[in-house]
């Protein structure tokens, strides 16, 4: 399905939400399989790496943590391709988890360097998009991401000032299970506190134009058996290391 309204919203606001498009059973299976891995990471893994009581960890590619429906959903991939081009690849698959005790992050963008350092504010079409969905229902109590709409089109310092002064308001993005958030990584955003006992797991796939690479986040390798079950078209979309 062509998502023309959402594409316009993504272009104008820097994000849009596709409501209820992922099959809930797939998301629930992913959560059930990931939860022991997450629990082990939280109990025995490294210290929080995204602020107090806030973790990022790479997602496994073993099904059902991985499902082709997450990466190749026709509406999501269609939207991402329309916003960039037909040759986009996925190069990140990770999970952001604020816990009880997490705080507001500072507003930030998700890229370290402008594409052309000599012209950092050159207005350009997107070369990456983040596609996220919750493994739990995300409501105000457990820390929805907040996004400052329209800031993807403004020089970063100007955008930060506008958000700090309140000239641009910020929007929390609650997500039901099955909802998918698509956002420009350079729209200013921040994580908010999780005030519940349950980890708030938000998984993200990053799609980039084929010519772009930055290796900015840790990723897991794809097991050979999973790779072999993908179609040729699906393999063309996956830019991850192969296990072995
Ligand atoms: O998990 C979230 O709500 C946002 C996290 C984030 O933007 C970050 O850690 O860079």
The two tokens of residue 144 are 């929805």
pLDDT of residue 244: 81
Tell whether 233 is covered by a domain: yes
pLDDT of residue 147: 98
**Regions of the chain with pLDDT less than 70:** none
Could you report the per-residue pLDDT of 191-218, keeping only the tens digit for each?
Answer: 999 999 999 999 999 999 999 999 999 9
Determine the straight-line distance between the first and last CA of the chain, rounded to whole angstroms: 37
* Rounded CA separation 138/18 (Å): 15
Reported as type and span, the H/E element at residue 131 is strand 128-134
pLDDT of residue 145: 98
Calculate how far, in angstroms, residue 52's C-alpha sits from the geometric centre of ligand 1.
12
Q: Read off the DSSP letter of residue 231.
A: -
List CB contacts of 230: < 8 A, sequence separation 6 or more. 68, 238
List CB contacts of 47: < 8 A, sequence separation 6 or more. none
List CB contacts of 210: < 8 A, sequence separation 6 or more. 87, 88, 89
Tell whether 242 is covered by a domain: no
Tell whether 214 is covered by a domain: yes
Calculate how far, in angstroms, residue 102's C-alpha sits from the geometric centre of ligand 1.
11
Biggest CA pair distance of the chain: 52
* Rounded CA separation 90/152 (Å): 21
* Rounded CA separation 182/169 (Å): 19
* DSSP codes of every residue in 169-211: --EE--B-TT-EEEE-TTS-EE---B-SSS---EEEEEEE-TT
Tell whether 243 is covered by a domain: no
Tell whether 212 is covered by a domain: yes
The preferred substitution site among 38, 48, 50 for testing ligand 1, maximizing ligand atoms within 8 Å of CB, is 50
Tell whether 186 is covered by a domain: yes
Residue with tokens 């005790």: 101
Q: What is the pTM of this model?
A: 0.97
CA-nearest residue for atom 5, ligand 1, is 191
Could you report the per-residue pLDDT of 48-71, keeping only the tens digit for each?
Answer: 999 999 999 999 999 999 999 999
The boundaries of the domain holding residue 103 are 4-115+123-237
The two tokens of residue 31 are 């959560």
Answer for the pair 97, 136: CB distance below 8 angstroms, yes or no. Answer: no
Residue with tokens 């699906």: 234
Q: What is the CB < 6 Å shell around ligand 1?
A: 50, 96, 105, 145, 189, 191, 202
Count CA atoms closer than 13 A to 95's CA, side-chain side. Answer: 26
Cα–Cα distances in angstroms (integers) from residue 197 to residues 98, 190, 206, in the given order? 10, 20, 28
List CB contacts of 20: < 8 A, sequence separation 6 or more. 176, 178, 179
pLDDT of residue 169: 97
Q: Which atom of ligand 1 is nearest to the CA of 192?
A: 3
Classify 2 as helix, strand or coil: coil
Structural domain count of the chain:
1
pLDDT of residue 231: 98
* Rounded CA separation 244/239 (Å): 16
Q: Which atom of ligand 1 is nearest to the CA of 189?
A: 7
Calculate how far, in angstroms, residue 31's C-alpha sits from the geometric centre of ligand 1.
19
Residue 214: give its domain's CATH number.
Answer: 2.60.120.620
Reported as type and span, the H/E element at residue 133 is strand 128-134
Tell whether 48 is covered by a domain: yes
């Amino acid at each position: 399905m062509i998502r023309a309204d959402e594409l316009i919203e993504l272009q104008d606001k820097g994000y849009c939400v596709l409501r209820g498009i992922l099959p809930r059973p797939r998301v629930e299976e992913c959560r059930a399989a990931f939860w022991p891995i997450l629990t082990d990471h939280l109990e025995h893994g490294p210290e929080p790496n995204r602020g107090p009581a806030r973790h990022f960890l790479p997602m496994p590619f073993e099904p059902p943590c991985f499902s082709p429906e997450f990466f190749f959903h026709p509406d999501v991939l269609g939207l991402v391709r329309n916003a960039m081009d037909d040759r986009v690849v996925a190069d990140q698959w990770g999970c952001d988890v604020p816990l009880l005790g997490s705080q507001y992050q500072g507003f930030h963008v998700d890229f370290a360097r402008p594409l052309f350092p000599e012209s950092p504010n050159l207005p350009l079409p997107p070369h990456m998009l983040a596609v996220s969905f919750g493994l739990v229902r995300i409501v105000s109590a457990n820390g929805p991401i907040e996004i400052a709409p329209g800031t993807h089109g403004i020089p970063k310092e100007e955008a930060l000032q506008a958000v700090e002064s309140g000239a641009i308001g910020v929007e929390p993005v609650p997500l039901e299970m099955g909802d998918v958030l698509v956002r420009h990584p350079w729209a200013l955003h921040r994580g908010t506190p999780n005030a519940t006992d349950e980890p708030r797991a938000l998984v993200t796939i990053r799609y980039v134009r084929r010519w772009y690479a930055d290796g900015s986040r840790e990723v897991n390798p794809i097991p050979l058996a999973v790779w072999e079950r993908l179609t040729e078209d699906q393999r063309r979309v996956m830019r991850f290391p192969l296990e072995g």
